[in-house]
Structure 1
Amino acid sequence: MAHLSSKVEYGLHCLLWLVEPREEPASSRDLAELQGISPTFVAKIFPKLEKARIVVAVGGVRGGYQLARPAGEISVLDVVDAIEGGKPLFECQEIRGRCAVFGDKPPSWSTNGVCAIHAVMIRAEQSMRAELARTSLQDIARTVGRKSPADFAHEVRGWLSGRAGARTEVRLASLGAPAAKRIAPRAIPRKRRTDT
């Protein structure tokens, strides 16, 4: 069994699409569907990220999530701890004192200090946490950006914007015409053409 659950992977993948500021926030459902993962599962991750001040929820018709601070200030360790709750890599069961040849009373040398196996695991966890703390969401986003075609991020932004627009239309339609007029986004005036 993996130490870090798939929730961490899903959360990080979703957060990568929030790194670049967007006009409208992205819903957890849209982020999940974009990547072919369970919207219900992702919806359970985002409240943990919000509680850890990694994302903020934006309400309203075009609501969703945005990063709470710049991506360069959010470490992978922040995300892991928010989702997993800071659980240890290894939990020593202290079996070293249960050796059959000791009988009911293990000698003091067998249980003195930290278990040698536990000590290795502690060092491994410290190294892992240091690497996760050193790596930010921005670092990962840069790597993904270098690996993907130039227009991929643009396509994803377009897909997310289309989904936000569709959500708005559905919500406004469900409210009826009078209510929809009160909360519909205001049209941005177009510049008048001056060429003749």
Structure 2
Amino acid sequence: MSFISTGVEYGLHCLLYLAGTSAGVREASVRDLAEMQGVPVDYAAKLFTRLAKAGIVQSTEGIRGGFTLARPAAQITVRAVVVAIDGEKPLFDCREVRSQCALFEQEPPAWATRGTCSIHAVMQVAERAMREELEKHSLADLVARAYSKAPASYGHHVVNWFADRAANRRSDRQA
């Protein structure tokens, strides 16, 4: 099992579209975001509920309703998305195994359990480094990386895909 859930991956991929392209996708429905990524709609809706509670996205009402980023993509860190979706959870849960050595007849001697467990200490350093690294990268950074690989026309294709979906929804409601 991975430390960071698949939901974080799905959420970040969906947020890349709300972070905008050179052509300007800024708002989209959860259904469209889910379908664009091949994510179950109900699952994406749960992710966006968490993202909204964390103040990362906000919902808009009406026929053209959907979600937008609640603040600029440069101000949304990868760590904020991880925490919004997965919550704050430790990387390692020390079980104090060191106190259970078969050589300790009744109670472990004080020297055996003094201070932080050396294994736990290493895991704490690793966790701190991971959190610091996730804090260094913003949604805007991810967008720049993703779109640097794509042909220049890709952004326009994305915008058109979302616009067509929204237009079809409006025409379906008017019929």
Instruction: Give the partner amino acid of 2:3.
Output: H
TM-score, L = length of structure 2: 0.95
Answer yes or no: is the 8 Å Cα contact 1:28–1:43 preserved in 2: yes
**Aligned twin of 2:81:** 79
Structure 1: stretches of 5+ with no match in the other structure: 174-196
**Aligned twin of 1:104:** 106
- How many angstroms does 1:170 deviate by? 2.0
Alignment CA distance shift 1:158-1:64 (3 Å)? same
Answer yes or no: is the 8 Å Cα contact 2:98–2:112 preserved in 1: yes
Alignment CA distance shift 1:23-1:168 (3 Å)? farther
Query: Relative contact order: is structure 1 or structure 2 higher (C-alpha 8 Å, sep ≥ 6)?
Result: 2
**Aligned twin of 1:54:** 56
Equivalent residue of 1:131, what SS? helix
Alignment CA distance shift 1:17-1:24 (3 Å)? closer
**Aligned twin of 1:192:** none
Structure 2: stretches of 5+ with no match in the other structure: none
Equivalent residue of 1:102, what SS? coil
**Aligned twin of 1:11:** 11
Instruction: Give the partner amino acid of 1:9.
Output: E
- Counting matched residue pairs gives 173
Point out the more displaced range, 68-77 or 97-106: 97-106
RMSD across aligned C-alpha pairs, in angstroms? 1.3
- How many angstroms does 1:37 deviate by? 1.6
Instruction: Give the partner amino acid of 1:12.
Output: L
Q: % of aligned pairs identical? A: 50
Larger radius of gyration: 1
TM-score, L = length of structure 1: 0.85
Answer yes or no: is the 8 Å Cα contact 2:8–2:81 preserved in 1: yes
